[in-house]
């Protein structure tokens, strides 16, 4: 992943990266998403029922990822 200097850019970039990984593998569970983030060098510092808060190591700043794919329960297509 490229270095992230702006948290807004970082959040969008990370969300796109997570979506691409989910599409490639087909898994949407929380454990897989946190694994994706860890492999990308990001630390999940908080897990809420509907979001994940991620630390950008380069800046020491946090940002929150929200949406159906970050919910604690797996997201299933209908």
Give domain status of residue 23, yes or no.
Answer: yes
In this prediction, residue 61 has a pLDDT band, given cuts at 50, 70 and 90, of confident
| Number of domains composing the chain | 1
Residue 77 lies in a domain: no
42 located within any domain: yes
Is 56 within a domain? Answer: yes
In a domain, 76, yes or no: no
* Residue 1, domain member (yes or no): no
Instruction: Give the model confidence (pLDDT) of 1-30 as tens digits.
Output: 555 555 456 788 889 999 999 999 999 999
Tell me the per-residue pLDDT of 33-58, one tens digit each, with 9 for 90 and over: 999 999 988 899 999 999 999 998 87
Domain that holds residue 54: 7-70
CA atoms within 13 A on the CB side of 75: 19
Q: What is the model's pTM? A: 0.77
- 78 assigned to some structural domain: no
- Is residue 57 in some structural domain? yes
Residue 69: CB atoms within 10 A of its CB come to: 17
């Amino acid at each position: 992943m490229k270095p992230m200097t702006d948290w807004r850019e970082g959040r969008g970039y990370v969300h796109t990266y997570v979506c691409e990984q989910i599409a490639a593998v087909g898994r949407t569970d929380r454990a897989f998403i946190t694994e994706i983030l860890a492999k990308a060098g990001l630390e999940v510092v908080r897990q809420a029922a509907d979001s994940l808060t991620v630390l950008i190591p380069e800046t020491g700043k946090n940002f929150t990822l929200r949406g159906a794919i970050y919910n604690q329960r797996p997201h299933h297509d209908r």
